[in-house]
Amino acid sequence: MGKIAFVFSGQGAQYPSMGKELCEASPAAAKVFEAAESIREGTSKQCFEGTKEELFLTINTQPCMFCVDLAAAEALREAGIEPDAVAGFSLGEVPAVTFAGMLSVEDGFKLVVKRGEFMNAAAVATNGAMCAVVKLKNDVVEGICAEFEDAYPVNYNCPGQLSCAVGKDNMAAFCERVKEAGGRAIPLAVSGGFHSPFMTLAAAKMRTELENYTFEKPSIAVYSNFTAERYTENPAEMLASQVENPVRWQEIIENMIESGIDTFIECGPGKTLAGLIAKISKDVKIYNVENKETLEKAIAELK
């Protein structure tokens, strides 16, 4: 085996009861939720018992996703599986940074709570939404976005899939234009136009908030959404900039593979990132860990 990377799930993958089995199966996972409860009481209940509608709200999604993402990674580490590198998709970058030791669990959680608040406020103020465009080349999607004053290419996911942030009033027209071009637009389960100019106010608030945090050097390689490269310096600016700029996921995975990574474990709800990675490369092994069954499978095959 070559090298292992943990990749942390992003917003949109949330679902009711997420994280419950991880907490029951792993003391290390349970400790993540205990830390969160000390800061934001009720987070565990939202994850384990919250409705789909409750978890859809950005102010709830982000802290809850952080907990499940990090809990999955800590359960793996508890079992002796250590990664050589980490990356996270959008909000997943905060648990990635935390897992790499750049922030304490408490500070990572405090930051993601604020991030959710800032992005929710920006979403309410700007009336944006998101969709994933498939079956079209990136340059074609970029061209369609340019036809609208409030449409932006934002998540470069994998070959043939590019997510866009679009004003809600223009979303129907945008989707129709995508259809005319031979593609398909799939609405995403998020509550705003993230990683675009819709989030400029949130990014500004993040820069101010991040002045309150001290970052340690990472214990392992951490890849940035904003640059698609390893963190080198100024992590605060990396985390603020990614809020209003595209997620360069395909580049991140390609750069990780080039560095020697041949096994990826998605930590957190769902298999979205696992699916994207499979489309980026057919030559890597891919696992996901989100509950007791998937945790035990990964441990059995990788230990």
**Residues designated catalytic:** 90, 195
Q: What is the 3-state secondary structure (H, E, C) of 31-51?
A: HHHHHHHHHCCCHHHHHHHCC
User: What single letter denotes the amino acid at residue 30?
Assistant: A
DSSP states along 65-89: HHHHHHHHHHHHHHTT---SEEEES
Q: How far is CA 49 from CA 9, 24, 46, 55, in A?
A: 20, 15, 5, 10
Nearest alpha-carbon partner for 77 in 55, 98, 53, 56: 98
* CB distance 9 to 92 below 8 Å: yes
User: Which residues are registered as beta bridge partners of 289?
Assistant: 267
Q: Give the whole-angstrom CA distance, residue 264 versus residue 8.
A: 10
Would you report the helix, strand and coil content of the chain in percent, each value rounded to 5? Answer: 55, 15, 30
Q: Give the whole-angstrom CA distance, residue 58 versus residue 287.
A: 27
Ramachandran area for residue 65 (φ above 0: left; ψ -120 to 50: alpha; else beta): alpha
Q: Give the whole-angstrom CA distance, residue 200 versus residue 59.
A: 17
Q: How many CB atoms lie within 10 A of CB 274?
A: 16
Nearest alpha-carbon partner for 46 in 11, 19, 9, 74: 19
231 token code pair: 């963190």
